[in-house]
Structure 1
Amino acid sequence: MASILVSSSEKFSGKSSICMGLGKIFRDKGYAVGYMKPVGNLLIDVHGSLTDEDAEGIKMMLELDDPTKIITPIHLTDSLIDDALTGVKKDLDDRLMEAYSSISEGKDVVIIEGTGGIGGGAMYNLSDPEIASKLGTKMLLVTRFDSIYAVDRILCDLRIIQDRDILAGIILNEVPEDMMERVTELVVPFLEKKGIKVFGVIPQDKTLRSVPISEIVEGLRAEVLVGADRLDEFVENYLVGAMEAGSAIKYFRRIPNSAVITGGDRADIQMAAIESRVKCLILTGNMLPSGAVLASAEEADIPVILVRGDTMTTIERMEQLIGHAHIKQQVKLDRIVDLLESNVDLSSIAEVMDLEL
């Protein structure tokens, strides 16, 4: 049975997306695929049971039958942290090994997802390198290349790993278009001279960073005033309407597929956003717009949603939603598979796992 642990240098690196994409690719090649995230750190309640949000999404998208409590056997609760800090002994290693044994049964491949950053879980001896060592698997490190300082993060991660044999290689993810040439011509050779195998360089992709309006409504706890039948549309950016109406239309049209956030009392900005055919209009302050605004939005098929919070709070929440969206739609899963197949040496990853693609 083959396995690999997908780790990351930081949160929101695209690690879960790559786990899901690899799982689908191996499954499409005829392999029986299992998945687990040993330590759940994004805890949510599903039908009265605690589980990890990433793990739940991957279980759904890959149509996995394994019980949630086996996929994520350990939950990063305050109680677990307190026990670790006070020296209370837990049976975490036993839970890890029992869950891995159960997940592995009848599988050709098991993909293991790490916890947040590479060192997460170190206080209870379950950092990603420690889990990889205990399970006898290698690590695939995913790094979001947001700046040249990503190289520093990678080199620091190597010091955390210590045993270089555990690291199979890395994927540089979400590389901005204007940095692609520098990364491929300078960064990749630099890393490979350091003995770090670079499996691929994945460009930043708008589809993966986008979020459906329905998730914005849920994330902002908003009320839908108009356009309830258009909530499956995707938003790639958000804009703040705080300028003069005359400047707003040019501003809104420069950045397509955007949601506009503005006060509920700014009818001029609201009409400018509708005229610019934005994807969604988000009104803050729990102030209802005029009937004319709602009628215009309805005619233009633009959803209008109302939130109770002020504009600054809404911006902060949108910052968490845009770019940190979880893959819950088939179109996104198909896209990550395309990106992996086009930009990553999948055969070499499979070879590390003693598989063929």
Structure 2
Amino acid sequence: MILVKPSVYLAGLEYSGKTLIAYGLVKKLKQSGVNIGYFKPVAVARKKLEHKKPVDPDVLALKEALGVEFSEELLSPVVLSETYLDLQDEALGYRERIIKSYQELSARYDAMVVEGHQGPEALVTLGLSAPQVAKLIDSTLTLVIRCSSEPIIDRIVDRIVLYERFASSFDAKLFGVILNAVRFQDLERLREAIVPRIEALGVKVLGVVPESSSFFAPTVRDVAEALDARILTGDIGLDGLMEDVVVGAMGLEATTRWVRRATNAALVTSGDRTDVILQVLELRPSVVVLTENLYPSAQVLAKARVLGIPVLLVPHSTYEAVEMLKEAQRMIASMSLRVKERAILSALEKSLDWKSFASLLGI
């Protein structure tokens, strides 16, 4: 344990929304005049910078979006690959690196928001699981759960019991939980039955955030970057959000029916499906992704230009493009954080227990 400033450690499963919540917390508190910093002690490399140094793109995104001047190495001192079991001999060095970076960084701030990596139990074999690292830097452990990922809402209590006991096994305490992306139909059950059961465990519910697909949705600009696409037209629509994906391999009637049902849809099809593309453009999708480098007709480009709808050209097959779009929906970019900033802050302002966070962070 080391003596540092007050901090909250956000742990959660992959795609729980902890990065968005970390961003929202830091941004909101900065706007309120709090000198607060961001730290991600352990990350998984999913990108390389120009000098070939591996980095977590989420760290890059928050560094840029929050205007943080410190290096990626200081903000996230341990960056591992997804294969790590042979790194046991390096574990002590990793912990020392985390302590050194955290002491240096936290000295510049009055409070800290710390983001965990892929899951509370991940890297326990290296002594770098969420409760182990939270205890190492004396940070208050808080769990973020994406409730829409739970098919049975009551299982949230089981999951919290599991992680509370897991934390206790390392002499760490699970202080609180943020229930994120709660489906509308689950809100009443959650508030009346589940929240009281959680708090009876001694775990404080720090927020109930209703589900919003736009909360997680990437921008069309993010999609273009993820697909390494050529933008044929529609630059003015690049900051729009993409929430649903519709594959234009069906007939005209079936494709248009699915687009009507979708929200902020991306149509993925080959460029020679002129009849389908023209009809779908009338329905105002967020973006049209043309696969296998099949260039569209002049009529398609002219209509998309008039409507301000981006048309992207990619060399990938339709299947490959859809899989890449799924991955893009899980990624966070600094530009999309800025685009969605108002929506993120609005959701968190209404949903988080700010008095508890203020007390927790000593502000």
Query: What TM-score, normalized to structure 1?
Result: 0.91
Query: Alignment RMSD, CA only?
Result: 2.1
State the partner residue of 1:123: 125
Unaligned runs of 5+ in 2: none
Structure 2: distance between partners of 1:23 and 1:347: 15
**Equivalent residues of 2:17, 2:216 under 8 A apart:** no
Q: Structure 1 segments of 4 or more deviating over 6 A?
A: none
Pick aligned residue for 1:33 from 32, 36, 45: 36
Structure 1: distance between partners of 2:116 and 2:27: 18
**Equivalent residues of 1:327, 1:333 under 8 A apart:** no
Q: Per the alignment, do residues 39 and 89 of structure 1 end up closer, same or farther by CA in structure 2, a change over 3 Å counting?
A: closer
Pick aligned residue for 2:163 from 157, 163, 169: 157
Structure 2: distance between partners of 1:151 and 1:338: 27
**Equivalent residues of 2:10, 2:144 under 8 A apart:** yes
State the partner residue of 1:264: 271
Structure 2: distance between partners of 1:66 and 1:191: 38
Unaligned runs of 5+ in 1: none
Structure 2: distance between partners of 1:250 and 1:289: 22
Deviation at residue 154 of structure 1 after TM alignment: 2.3
State the partner residue of 1:309: 316
State the partner residue of 2:69: 65
Structure 2: distance between partners of 1:281 and 1:79: 36
Q: Does 1:351 align with 2:355?
A: no
State the partner residue of 1:13: 16
Query: What TM-score, normalized to structure 2?
Result: 0.90
State the partner residue of 1:295: 302
Deviation at residue 273 of structure 1 after TM alignment: 0.9
Deviation at residue 276 of structure 1 after TM alignment: 1.5
1:94-173 maps to which residues of 2 (within 5 A)?
94-146=96-148, 147=150, 148=153, 149-162=155-168, 166-173=173-180
**Equivalent residues of 2:266, 2:289 under 8 A apart:** yes
State the partner residue of 2:199: 192
Q: Per the alignment, do residues 124 and 247 of structure 1 end up closer, same or farther by CA in structure 2, a change over 3 Å counting?
A: closer
State the partner residue of 1:208: 215
State the partner residue of 1:341: 349
Deviation at residue 324 of structure 1 after TM alignment: 4.5
Q: Per the alignment, do residues 196 and 89 of structure 1 end up closer, same or farther by CA in structure 2, a change over 3 Å counting?
A: closer
Q: Per the alignment, do residues 280 and 83 of structure 1 end up closer, same or farther by CA in structure 2, a change over 3 Å counting?
A: same
Structure 1: distance between partners of 2:331 and 2:194: 25
Structure 2: distance between partners of 1:70 and 1:323: 25
Paired letter, 1:284: T
